[in-house]
């Protein structure tokens, strides 16, 4: 008999290696969450510097109260998909609030951001269409392409000239063409040069989709994401995002001005065949959007924190993930063993960062990835920098 789990033996060995060197950085347990930026792990209080809690709203009393009220009024779960069971008023309220936040006509929410990518990409593109993907795309975008059955063409990361060539080569392929970019790339922290890609729309026919998972709430004068920052929102046909980062809850969304957008509800399997998010997380998302809108100073703070961390680490001589500042601050490591050892040294020093190793990284890179929060105090940012300094002192 072929043991189906045999193929994963290598993963066991990899985990064992991590555990032998200290704590398994891919399996940490937060025994207690003290705030958006602090937790108790292994009996010790640590600074969280890898949680994508960009706006720091997870403990906001207004969001907690909204979640509690929804629990009381709507119960613990939705117990089915919106197609089968119908929507709760809260779903519609969140969709309207988000459309308003984005300045778009239509919005559809999903149970997770991962499902938003699966649903949107497979709803938009089918076997006769082609999806053009940035090579550094998140796994959920790749998985969405697989589910769609569309032809997949990868172009070099952030390279509009490479995409230009590939679009030209396939000019007569027929079918629709969807180009997918990310606002802030999740591992290295760089962002798509949107103007270069939008310029290609004058030469080639395609529709453009941006996954703003890491840039929603963060980029642009209104926090709407990459299009908002670049002043090019009207050229982005579809926006995808998540509630698990700046919004501090769970869920995802797709949004657009396309007049047929609503038809996707009946075409997206990851929307139709899974239960919708729980009332509490929908209600906290609605409240978090209000907080993000009412308190733009959070955006100012996250940028100040990001500058401070990026420049602090760069100043220590680290090779940074990219040459621009964003709330994703990654430091490149030479190999996996060094990454594990240094991750443990940081952890012992009281700082949690992401141990980012293949297959979760582009180009098989090994990274110590930090994500900055508006809730980090300046002192916490300085503490993170000094723990990095200590961890690499020998």
Binding site for ligand PMP (CB under 6 A): 112-114, 117, 138, 140, 182, 186, 211, 213-214, 242, 244, 252
Rounded to the nearest whole angstrom, what is the least distance from the CB of residue 328 to ligand PMP in the complex?
A: 9
Closest to ligand PMP by CB, 113 or 220: 113
Closest to ligand PMP by CB, 242 or 285: 242
Residue with tokens 């994401």: 225
Rounded to the nearest whole angstrom, what is the least distance from the CB of residue 301 to ligand PMP in the complex?
A: 22
Closest to ligand PMP by CB, 90 or 239: 239
Rounded to the nearest whole angstrom, what is the least distance from the CB of residue 139 to ligand PMP in the complex?
A: 8
Cα within 13 Å of Cα(203), Cβ side: 16
Closest to ligand PMP by CB, 113 or 248: 113
3-state secondary structure of 355: strand
Phi and psi at residue 75, to the nearest 5°: 90, -175
Closest to ligand PMP by CB, 82 or 214: 214
Nearest residue to ligand PMP by CB is: 113
Closest to ligand PMP by CB, 37 or 354: 354
Rounded to the nearest whole angstrom, what is the least distance from the CB of residue 117 to ligand PMP in the complex?
A: 5
Closest to ligand PMP by CB, 140 or 278: 140
- Would you state the structure tokens that stand for residue 187, as one six-digit string? 């591992």
Rounded to the nearest whole angstrom, what is the least distance from the CB of residue 200 to ligand PMP in the complex?
A: 21
Residue 140: closest CA among 161, 156, 120: 120
Measured CA to CA, the distance from residue 117 to residue 181 in angstroms comes to 12
Phi and psi at residue 125, to the nearest 5°: -115, 145
Rounded to the nearest whole angstrom, what is the least distance from the CB of residue 214 to ligand PMP in the complex?
A: 6
Rounded to the nearest whole angstrom, what is the least distance from the CB of residue 170 to ligand PMP in the complex?
A: 25
Q: Would you give the distance in Å from CA 51 to the centre of its chain?
A: 11
3-state secondary structure of 194: helix
Closest to ligand PMP by CB, 145 or 387: 145
Yes or no: say if 334 and 319 are a contact pair by the CB < 8 Å rule: no
Other residues' Cβ atoms within 10 Å of the Cβ of residue 126: 13
Strands 366-371 and 328-333: antiparallel
Rounded to the nearest whole angstrom, what is the least distance from the CB of residue 370 to ligand PMP in the complex?
A: 14
Measured CA to CA, the distance from residue 161 to residue 43 in angstroms comes to 52
Closest to ligand PMP by CB, 186 or 373: 186
Rounded to the nearest whole angstrom, what is the least distance from the CB of residue 119 to ligand PMP in the complex?
A: 11
3-state secondary structure of 159: coil
Phi and psi at residue 159, to the nearest 5°: -115, 95
Other residues' Cβ atoms within 10 Å of the Cβ of residue 15: 13
Alpha-carbon dihedral of residues 302, 304, 306, 307, nearest 10 degrees? 160
């Amino acid at each position: 008999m072929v043991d189906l789990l045999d193929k994963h033996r290598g993963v066991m060995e990899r985990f064992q290696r991590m555990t032998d060197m200290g704590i398994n950085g891919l399996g940490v347990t937060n025994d207690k969450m003290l705030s958006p930026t602090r937790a108790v792990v292994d009996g010790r209080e640590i600074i969280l510097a890898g949680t994508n809690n960009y706006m720091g709203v997870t403990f906001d009393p207004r969001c907690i109260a909204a979640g509690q009220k929804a629990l009381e009024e709507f119960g613990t779960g939705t117990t089915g998909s919106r197609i089968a069971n119908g929507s709760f008023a809260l779903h519609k309220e969140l969709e309207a609030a988000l459309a308003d936040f984005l300045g778009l006509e239509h919005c559809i929410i999903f149970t997770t951001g991962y499902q938003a990518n699966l649903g949107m990409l497979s709803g938009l593109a089918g076997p006769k269409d082609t999806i053009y993907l940035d090579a550094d795309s998140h796994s959920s975008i790749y998985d969405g392409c697989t589910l769609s059955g569309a032809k997949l063409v990868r172009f070099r990361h952030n390279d509009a000239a490479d995409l230009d060539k590939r679009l030209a080569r396939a000019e007569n392929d027929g079918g629709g063409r969807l180009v997918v970019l990310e606002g802030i790339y999740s591992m290295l922290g760089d962002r798509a040069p949107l103007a270069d890609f939008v310029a290609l729309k004058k030469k080639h026919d395609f529709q453009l989709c941006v996954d703003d998972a890491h840039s929603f709430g963060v980029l642009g004068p209104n926090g709407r994401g990459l299009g908002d920052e670049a002043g090019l929102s009207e050229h982005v046909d579809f926006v995808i995002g998540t509630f698990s980062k700046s919004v501090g809850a769970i869920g995802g969304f797709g949004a657009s001005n396309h007049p047929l957008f609503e038809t996707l509800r009946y075409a997206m399997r990851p929307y139709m065949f899974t239960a919708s998010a729980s009332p509490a997380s929908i209600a906290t998302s609605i409240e978090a959007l209000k907080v993000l809108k009412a308190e733009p100073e959070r955006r100012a703070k996250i940028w100040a924190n990001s500058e401070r961390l990026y420049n602090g680490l760069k100043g220590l001589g680290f090779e940074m993930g990219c040459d621009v500042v964003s709330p994703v601050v990654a430091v490149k490591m030479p190999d996996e063993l060094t990454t594990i050892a240094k991750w443990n040294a940081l952890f012992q020093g009281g700082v949690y960062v992401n141990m980012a190793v293949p297959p979760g990284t582009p180009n098989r890179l090994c990274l110590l990835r930090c994500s900055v929060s508006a809730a980090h105090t300046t002192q916490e940012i300085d503490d993170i920098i000094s723990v990095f300094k200590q961890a690499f002192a020998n």
